[in-house]
Amino acid sequence: MAARRSRIPATKYPVERFTLDNGLRVVLSPDRSAPVVGVAVVYDVGIRSEPEGRTGFAHLFEHLMFQGSENLEKLAHFRHVQGAGGTFNGSTHLDYTDYYEYLPANALERALFLEADRMRGPRLTEENLRNQVDVVKEEIRVNVLNRPYGGFPWLTLSPVMFDTFPNAHDGYGSFDDLESATVDEAVDFFHRFYASGNAVLAVSGDIDVAEATTLVERHFGDVPARPAPARPDFGEPDLTVERRTSYTDRLAPMPAVASAWRVPDPLTDLTGYLAYVVLAEVLTDGDASRLVERLVQRDRTVTSIGGYLNFMGDPFDVRDPTVLVLQHHLPPGGDVDRVLRTVDEELDRLAADGLTEGELARTQARMATHLLRDTDAVLGRALRMAVLEQQRDEPGLLNELPRLVGEVTEEQVRAAAAMLRPERRASIEVIPGGAR
């Protein structure tokens, strides 16, 4: 019988691209429906790029980029964006770091000036470095050390899955590494990775393309040209023997387990990769999904389930090597071995028997809805286009992703499920420590 596919249309957001003489790539996407703009600058440097002995440095440097510049004092960026009625932030990922503003359209030039100013040179001083080391350490205490399941599974499972430092190390960083960081190292990191040739600027929203181009050239055109550094090969061989470990979390009230399997390269085999993106949703998204129905509702061996691509959760902002993750929280006294066996049974059943009537179409429609929602706002659109330009030279792929998800076939999902074998699995178990 012919495979049934969801008919999900592509979106039609306009895309204009150009590159400045200094190597900065620019993406513009006009949308005159509301008088707002999203501005995003993405640098091709992330957790995988930080050197050994400097765990957490990429995230620390993100903080330093908000501490003023050669022309603006500390907190000036905050004051100028918020004074215009806008919001801003930044975030560090495995393969990139982003900075962004969401403002009224008449404040576009203000945002471009601020981003260009710190691209020329942030204020890298001993005072700022020590202050931000303390801020990051406090963030680690709040989000990891003093939180139940802190770092689970994105920090704890990656060293089970991978062997090399870029893929396996703690992206938040150790206190020793953070405390021993120097200003000279920060300056070197800036010159190596925060080059105009290593960055993408994306603007989406209420803009005139010609006027926006003029503003971009005015503010970024004289940023000193520095080429992008060569990106190392972070590849690792797939697992051939199951890996499994555990640790005790003194704050965790109940046991938990997470597993990961390698998936195809999202850049060179997008079609193959998308089958796993859809599979994760078939298994875990919603009450009617395979593992929720079996493990939560019928067997009651787990209390919650999550399934996603990429340890940091976004399937479309990561390069190879990456993974499909399944995580489960269990009731008190829960049996982790039984949960893993049941997951294997459900994967085997899906691979052998296929999907039920309407299961794939329902899942794809829900996924398309999420994709469309995420890029409906101009800031989400700018961020997505910037990353797609950075990683693929193809920002317009944003328009095609909902349709491509809808074209994944049942046969492809079944084949993906068949590849999630125990011998290719890495798992980590959280043992509750009994803290009260």
Compute how many other C-beta atoms are within 10 angstroms of the C-beta atom of residue 214.
Answer: 13
Mean pLDDT calculated for residue range 209-217: 98
- What whole-number percentage of the chain has pLDDT above 70? 98
For residue 4, pLDDT beyond 60: no
Distances from the Cα of 39 to the Cαs of 36, 183, 391, in angstroms?
10, 29, 18
For residue 148, pLDDT beyond 50: yes
pTM: 0.95
Query: Is 167 in a helix, a strand, or coil?
Result: helix
Do the Cβ atoms of 203 and 108 come closer than 8 Å? yes
pLDDT at position 70: 84
pLDDT at position 434: 62
Q: Where are the alpha helices (DSSP H) in 243-335?
A: 270-284, 290-291
For residue 1, pLDDT beyond 50: no
Do the Cβ atoms of 198 and 229 come closer than 8 Å? yes
Do the Cβ atoms of 363 and 278 come closer than 8 Å? yes
Going by C-beta distance under 8 Å and a sequence separation of 6 or more, which residues neighbour residue 304? 296, 328, 329
**252 CB-contact burial (10 Å; exposed 0-12 / middle 13-18 / buried 19+):** buried
- The two structure tokens encoding residue 88: 């801003």
Tens-digit pLDDT profile for residues 106-144? 999 999 999 999 999 999 999 999 999 999 999 999 999
- Beta strands 36-43 and 97-104 are antiparallel
Tens-digit pLDDT profile for residues 231-273? 999 999 999 999 999 999 999 999 999 999 999 999 999 999 9
Q: Is it true that domain 16-220 has CATH number 3.30.830.10?
A: yes
Greater confidence (78 vs 313) lies with 78
What's 243-432's CATH class?
Answer: alpha beta
What are phi and psi for residue 321, nearest 5 degrees? -85, 140
For residue 9, pLDDT beyond 90: no
Q: Where are the alpha helices (DSSP H) in 209-296?
A: 209-220, 270-284, 290-291
**104 CB-contact burial (10 Å; exposed 0-12 / middle 13-18 / buried 19+):** middle
Mean pLDDT calculated for residue range 58-85: 95
pLDDT at position 277: 98
pLDDT at position 5: 53
Helix-then-strand count for the chain, H and E: 16, 11
DSSP-derived letter for residue 240 is S
**Tokens 């125990």 -> residue:** 422
Distance CA 403, CA 342 (A): 32
**Tokens 């499909």 -> residue:** 324
For residue 436, pLDDT beyond 80: no
Range(s) of the chain covered by CATH 3.30.830.10: 16-220, 243-432
Q: How far apart are the first and last CA of the chain?
A: 57
Task: Please give the mean pLDDT across all residues of the chain.
Answer: 96
Going by C-beta distance under 8 Å and a sequence separation of 6 or more, which residues neighbour residue 364? 6, 8, 278, 405, 406, 408
- Beta strands 25-30 and 199-205 are parallel
Compute how many other C-beta atoms are within 10 angstroms of the C-beta atom of residue 152.
Answer: 21
Distance CA 357, CA 247 (A): 41
Distance CA 128, CA 66 (A): 10
Name 27's bridge partners.
17, 202
Distance CA 88, CA 382 (A): 13
For residue 326, pLDDT beyond 60: yes
**271 CB-contact burial (10 Å; exposed 0-12 / middle 13-18 / buried 19+):** exposed
Going by C-beta distance under 8 Å and a sequence separation of 6 or more, which residues neighbour residue 58? 45, 46, 47, 49, 50, 92, 97, 171
For residue 63, pLDDT beyond 70: yes
